[in-house]
Amino acid sequence: MEFMWLYSLCQCCLFVCVIVMSVRLCMAVSGGGDMADIQDRVQSGGPQPGSVSCCLRLCLGWVGAIGGAIELPVTVVLNLRSPQCLYTCITLVCSPLLVRQFTMFLLMLLTLDIHLQHYLANRYSSVVTRHRALCVVLLCWVGSILSSFAQFIGSDILDKWRSGGKGVGTSDIGLGNNWTTSLPQLTSSPLPKYHHDLKIIGEYLPYGGFWSKFYVEDMGNFTYAEIHSSHWGVCAPDAILTPQFLVYVHGVTIFWLPLLCLLAIYLDLLCMKARKAAFSHADLPKHDSCLVRSVALSLSLLVLLCLPLHIIHTVVLFTPGTCLPSWVHPVALFLFQLYSLVPQILFTPPRKQVKGQQVSFPLAVPNLPPALPQSRGKSVHMVLCEAMQAAPWSSAKHSLKAKVCPEV
């Protein structure tokens, strides 16, 4: 039990870090400033305020903050493996899946957006618009909902829940029986007594009778446990999610689809870099190398952190009799959840450099030359030399020299 609380504490700390990094991303992207700050952000490769990239990063930050706040208590409840109603358990289990799925979609969209900025150049603003980006984000949201609840759409899980309430099984993933709590007292009869007082809602419609599991004509005569006793069981991801769903649906949308997308973008960037190097002997722009390294880092972390969990799901699906150590699945799940920090870290713009290079001079130095954009990289020594040349005593020295030693 103490290991379970320690594991839950580590997960809570991780989700707190996700919330902090998401809020930092939102503040860095939406933080206002004067025209000089906006130009500095654009020149450093950051997103322009109001652009598609800025909106996508804001969406990623909001999803990370809200999703982390939702996952924090939900994870603790799921780790307790407390008895819950089937439909309450479906909501608790699928909410983290929905957040991670939508985060992965936003990761792919942001990476593709940066690649299109680099690939289309001047045609980017005409091809990628905010209206089109909003439509794609809405489609990704609908796809995330469908993929997260795919196992429960059109399937009768209630019979399976009554028969034993096990999907993957606690013994399959190495979780001992110490994590399982006792179920509430069920009714003695096969059919609960309130079944005779049900009012069927939409019997001949799709999903007809769904609300009849909760709606009773006389609610005062029955307790909550009596109404929900026919679909009550231990609430945990391994008790409600099947290995087929975890491998063929969740594994494809969470791991294989982002892996193939990032790999295709990375190979395309390498090909573009090779073509530029073949036609030009000059050094490649720094932005190109940073983009290639960013995609490579995201791809490497995806394989390193997410692959172990999907290997475990695949082993459980194809070799159900395999007995894994008790620590394997919790560690793999924690590594998988650790990848939630990667998108926020990768797409948070760097902090603005302190403008210590812009030295302020006293009012006794009037006619300073205007600062050009190209002179920002000059050293403090060069700036001081220019200030000395523009000072009044410098002009007086030159006039005295002209009077004493006039030029011939």
Number of C-beta neighbours around residue 319 at 10 A: 9
pLDDT digits (tens, 9 = 90+) for 13-34: 999 999 999 999 999 888 654 4
Which two three-digit tokens encode residue 179?
Answer: 């994590």
- Give the C-alpha separation, 253 to 112, whole Å: 17
pTM of the model: 0.72
Look at residue 195 and tell me whether its pLDDT is greater than 80: no
Which two three-digit tokens encode residue 132?
Answer: 């089109």
- Estimate to the nearest angstrom the gap between the alpha carbon of 87 and the chain centroid: 26
- Give the C-alpha separation, 2 to 6, whole Å: 6
Instruction: Look up tokens 């809570």; give the residue.
Output: 12
Q: Which of 36, 309, 362, 370 is nearest to 174 (CA)?
A: 309
Which two three-digit tokens encode residue 298?
Answer: 């995201």
pLDDT digits (tens, 9 = 90+) for 297-355: 999 999 999 999 999 999 999 988 888 888 899 999 999 999 999 999 999 887 654 34
Q: Helix, strand, or coil here: 292?
A: helix
pLDDT digits (tens, 9 = 90+) for 44-94: 455 666 788 899 999 999 999 999 999 999 999 999 888 888 888 899 999
Instruction: Look up tokens 């302020």; give the residue.
Output: 360
Which two three-digit tokens encode residue 267?
Answer: 């190979």
Q: Which of 314, 340, 306, 312 is nearest to 326 (CA)?
A: 312
Instruction: Look up tokens 């302190």; give the residue.
Output: 354
Q: Apex CA 202: angle with CA 198 and CA 203, to 5°?
A: 75
Which two three-digit tokens encode residue 109?
Answer: 């969209």
- Give the C-alpha separation, 36 to 48, whole Å: 12
pLDDT digits (tens, 9 = 90+) for 327-343: 899 999 999 999 999 99
pLDDT digits (tens, 9 = 90+) for 112-171: 998 888 888 788 888 888 899 999 999 999 999 999 998 888 665 655 565 554 444 444
Q: Helix, strand, or coil here: 198?
A: strand
**Residue 198 main-chain phi, psi, to 5 deg:** -75, 150
Give the helix ranges, DSSP H, for 208-254: 224-228, 237-240, 243-245, 251
In terms of C-beta density within 10 A (0-12 exposed, 13-18 middle, 19 or more buried), how is residue 169 classed? middle
Q: Helix, strand, or coil here: 234?
A: strand
Q: Which domains does the chain have, with CATH numbers?
A: 2-29+48-160+236-346 (1.20.1070.10)
C-alpha Rg value of the chain to the nearest Å? 30
